[in-house]
Amino acid sequence: MVKIFDRDGRNAGPLSATERAALAALFLAAMALRLVPTILHPSLDHPDELFQSLEQAHRLVFGYGEIPWEFHIGARSWLLPGALAGFMWLGDRIADQPAFYLGAAHAALAALAATSMLCAFFWGRRWFGFWGGLVAAALPALWPDAIYFGARSLSECVAAPLLVAALYLLDSEVKRPTTGRHCAGGFLLGLATMLRLQLAPVLALAVVWRLAEDLRRRTALKTELPFVIGIALALGAAGLLDAVTWRYPFQSLWLYFNYTAVDGVADSFGTLPWSFYLSGLIAHWRWYFPAMLLLALLGGWRLKLPLAAAIAIVLIHSLVPHKEYRFIYPAILLILILAGLGLAQIAAWLGARAAGASRGLALASLGGVAAASAVFAASAEMRPMWNAGNDLIAAASYVHGLDHVCGIAADGTYGGYAYFHRDVPFYWLTNAVELAEDEPGFNVLMTTQAPPQGFERLRCFGGVCVARRAGACAPIAPPPIFSTRPNIAGSAKN
């Protein structure tokens, strides 16, 4: 069995029972915090979070759901939806309710996200002992951006902790690296790239970086064979999955690249200047930005490859015209880990000047990170993010609980079967003509407008209201862009 978190660092010995309990408590706290914006006060950062993953997982488990164009043509892999479907199936064994199967999926994502805090802890512990490890783990565990994005079903959010774990396993400073460690690191790095193709430059960077280190140390290049095998296993598995679910290996990657980069489909959703990410981070973090940058550079003095990876992610994404803040979340997570290590370094320097003060300085650092995170979480920059899409989810969940639903429509908003969990036609209305044509096909309407004549407003959630009319539904086919009864194997081969 591969030991993902070795205890073979420079200052590492076995953790005591008290230390293990403290680390477990921080891990559980990090995991629980990531469930707040996904379960306790659910929000949607982007429609892809629903349509490209949760909705497709719902199709796999329950046999119906909306099909976005990417899954009509095979431009998305079933890797992420397939993994989420397994957890949704387990949640459904408890109760056939969205709260349980979605809760199981988000709990799995939260646990995965919290592993980045563990990597930060063991990195910090290597140089600064147990308390230094806790300080290093505090920022990736508690910072609002990591909490907000951590348990989301977006490809970049799932790929980020896999990338962190890969870089931890591939750390060249480990005294006694094992074959299994290198193979696992390569596999996770390849898996992160298959989930998020834009991370391919980071994979290339890691390969070149390790080869350069081998040449510098005059070690045999064959030591990199387990690393390469791990990458090949991940890429091969993703290619085989495409061959089974679509037409040929790596079809989803090729079509995704062709449509978004070559044909410019991504640019049709808007373009932004190259400076968007840098200026966006400055505007988002405000006066935290210079402190975070200096701490990250200090931490990068020890963790050079993670620093180079973070820079590469931001630079590569800056060259792509279509930009969204979520795209660079893997870099943001790495910056938080590097900044945490930098903070641990400062605490260690101060502790060396004051004998016996290391524990007190560590506790003060932890308290300072917690206080700064709480202040930033309540800031004007974060408040809109916590509430994004909450009205929509609340309305869709309310629709699930209604009786006598024979058809659902959304006017000025959207919904998904992952929350409706009703095997009835769904109509995504874009104008008054479609509303008039499709109205006989549904009796429940989610709308941001005043409900049409014949519909009674039942309840409003912020700007989204749910209305219902009396009577049955006529058999009118929904818009062709979606299908409510997919045949995964059949549609894949058509």
Regarding whether 472 and 349 lie in a shared domain, the answer is no
Residue 333 lies in a domain: yes
Q: Where a domain ends, among 322, 355, 387?
A: 387
Higher pLDDT: 224 or 200? It is: 200
**Cβ–Cβ < 8 Å for 387, 148:** no
Single out the residue of 223, 310, 312, 321 nearest to residue 265, CA to CA: 321
Give the residue-averaged pLDDT of 3-16. Answer: 53
Q: Please report which helix (H) or strand (E) contains residue 351, including its range.
A: helix 329-353
Regarding whether 410 and 377 lie in a shared domain, the answer is no
Residue 164 lies in a domain: yes
Is the alpha carbon torsion for 163, 166, 167, 168 positive or negative? Answer: positive
Regarding whether 350 and 253 lie in a shared domain, the answer is yes
Residue 162 lies in a domain: yes
Provide the token pair at 277: 């990410």
Residue 304 lies in a domain: yes
Count Cβ atoms below 10 Å from residue 353 Cβ, excluding itself. Answer: 8
Which residues pair with residue 427 across a beta bridge? 409
3-class SS shares of the chain: helix, strand, coil, % to 5: 65, 5, 30
**Lowest-confidence region among 123-137, 204-218, 375-389:** 204-218
Regarding whether 342 and 241 lie in a shared domain, the answer is yes
Regarding whether 263 and 407 lie in a shared domain, the answer is no
Q: How many domains does the chain have?
A: 2
Regarding whether 78 and 225 lie in a shared domain, the answer is yes
DSSP string across 238-292: HHHHHHHHSSSTTHHHHHHHIIIIIS-TGGGG----TTHHHHHHHHHHTTHHHHH
Q: Where a domain ends, among 357, 387, 417?
A: 387
Question: Which tens digits make up the pLDDT trace of 91-105?
Answer: 999 999 999 999 999
Regarding whether 422 and 366 lie in a shared domain, the answer is no
Cα–Cα dist 398/420, whole Å: 8
Q: Is 275 exposed, middle or buried (0-12, 13-18, 19+ CB in 10 A)?
A: exposed
Give the residue-averaged pLDDT of 47-58. Answer: 96
Residue 11 reports pLDDT greater than 60: no
Residue 160 lies in a domain: yes
Task: Using pLDDT thresholds of 50, 70 and 90, give the confidence band for residue 334.
Answer: very high
Please state the pTM of the whole predicted model: 0.92
Mean pLDDT of the chain: 90
Q: Characterize the bridge pairing of strands 464-468 and 456-461.
A: antiparallel
Query: What is the reported pLDDT for 125?
Result: 94
**482 in helix, strand or coil?**
coil
In the block, residue with structure tokens 């296993």: 233
Residue 229 CA to chain centroid, in angstroms?
A: 26
Residue 6 lies in a domain: no
Q: Where a domain ends, among 387, 405, 435?
A: 387
Residue 481 reports pLDDT greater than 60: no
Question: Which tens digits make up the pLDDT trace of 267-300?
Answer: 777 788 999 999 999 999 999 999 999 999 999 9
Question: Which tens digits make up the pLDDT trace of 446-461?
Answer: 999 999 999 999 999 9
H, E, C per residue of 141-154: HHCHHHHHHHCCCC
Regarding whether 254 and 286 lie in a shared domain, the answer is yes
DSSP state of 445: E
Single out the residue of 401, 396, 416 nearest to residue 465, CA to CA: 396
Residue 4 lies in a domain: no
Question: Which tens digits make up the pLDDT trace of 238-264?
Answer: 999 999 999 999 999 999 999 887 777
Regarding whether 407 and 361 lie in a shared domain, the answer is no
Question: Which tens digits make up the pLDDT trace of 368-416?
Answer: 999 999 999 999 999 999 999 999 999 999 999 999 999 999 998 998 9
Question: Which tens digits make up the pLDDT trace of 485-494?
Answer: 333 333 333 2
Q: Which domain holds residue 429?
A: 390-493
Count Cβ atoms below 10 Å from residue 243 Cβ, excluding itself. Answer: 13
**Cβ–Cβ < 8 Å for 341, 167:** no
Residue 1 lies in a domain: no
Regarding whether 248 and 368 lie in a shared domain, the answer is yes
Residue 223 reports pLDDT greater than 60: yes
Query: What is the reported pLDDT for 219?
Result: 63
Give the residue-averaged pLDDT of 349-360. Answer: 68
Regarding whether 235 and 95 lie in a shared domain, the answer is yes
**Lowest-confidence region among 211-215, 327-331, 415-419, 465-469:** 211-215
Q: Characterize the bridge pairing of strands 444-447 and 426-429.
A: unpaired
Question: Which tens digits make up the pLDDT trace of 63-88?
Answer: 999 999 899 999 999 999 999 999 99
Regarding whether 420 and 317 lie in a shared domain, the answer is no
